[in-house]
Amino acid sequence: MSDVVTAEAAVAAPAGEEAPVLWMEKVERRYAEAGAPLEILKGADFAIWPGETVALIAPSGTGKSTLLHLAGLLEAPDGGEVYISGQATSKLADKERTRIRRLEIGFVYQFHHLLPEFSALENVILPQMIRGLTYKEAKDRASELLTYLGLGERQTHRPAEMSGGEQQRVAIARAVANAPRLLLADEPTGNLDPKTADHVFSALGQLVRASRLAAVVATHNMDLAGRMDRRVTIRDGLIVEL
């Protein structure tokens, strides 16, 4: 049986755990349409803790992308609050929201969006240098991440010289290069065949456990979803545990 996630349950940490990395409290989101506003989220509650993976399973049109955009501070809620590492974010200035997004949140999309003219190593170096690391620091961490993800021999290759699964693992390395606390992945294996998807998901899971990331993964792959710690969906504007 499924249960709506209440505000109290959302912040009731598992035994021995710290506060949630992401806490969405009574979040509302609506969009203007001719006639009446389109209500997507209607007081939704959700939380995720360090080292936890949560599968977001939702049909198109129910608010999956909206939920990820709110969690990633790409949109602000119309009501309620989104907390990142305990900090309320909805009323922050754009500059501060951008700073939190850069330091605390990593994104992985269905398409890898790698820069085609740069090598795998350079694609992972760049976001770190934007943050302010030296080239040597960024290069060392990029090499370490790519090696951890099984791409030690592919670091100098450009995206066009790599398979789809390799490209997506580079995208994962880039997403976590700045050591975020929250990873948001939108159908990260959607363009891959089942065997490659399994390989990429396994690499992602290992990285989450090793780095104590909190990961929300939107997916239609029920096999992969079944291997995550929790599964949630969106129903009638609320986040519901499956």
**Digit-coded pLDDT (tens) for 65-76:** 899 999 999 999
Distance of CA 208 to CAs 90, 133, 217, Å?
27, 23, 12
pLDDT recorded at residue 17: 56
pLDDT in tens, the chain (242 residues): 344 444 444 445 454 457 899 999 999 999 887 677 888 999 999 999 999 999 999 887 788 889 999 999 999 999 999 999 999 999 999 999 999 998 899 998 877 789 999 999 999 999 999 888 999 999 999 999 999 888 899 999 999 999 988 998 899 899 989 889 999 988 887 777 888 788 778 888 888 888 889 999 998 888 888 989 999 999 999 999 98
CB 90 within 8 A of CB 100: no
pLDDT recorded at residue 136: 95
The whole-model pTM stands at 0.84
Domains located in the chain, CATH noted: 50-76+101-241 (3.40.50.300)
Radius of gyration of the chain (CA): 18
pLDDT recorded at residue 1: 39
Longest dimension (CA), the chain: 57
| Phi, psi of 238, rounded to the nearest 5 degrees | -120, 155
What's the per-residue H, E or C state across the chain? CCEECCHHHHCCCCCCCCCCCEEEEEEEEEECCCCCCEEEEEEEEEEECCCCEEEECCCCCCCHHHHHHHHCCCCCCCEEEEEECCEECCCCCHHHHHHHHHHHEEEECCCCCCCCCCCHHHHHHHHHHHHCCCHHHHHHHHHHHHHHCCCCCCCCCCHHHCCHHHHHHHHHHHHHCCCCCEEEEECCCCCCCHHHHHHHHHHHHHHHHHHCCEEEEECCCHHHHCCCCEEEEEECCEEEEC
pLDDT recorded at residue 2: 43
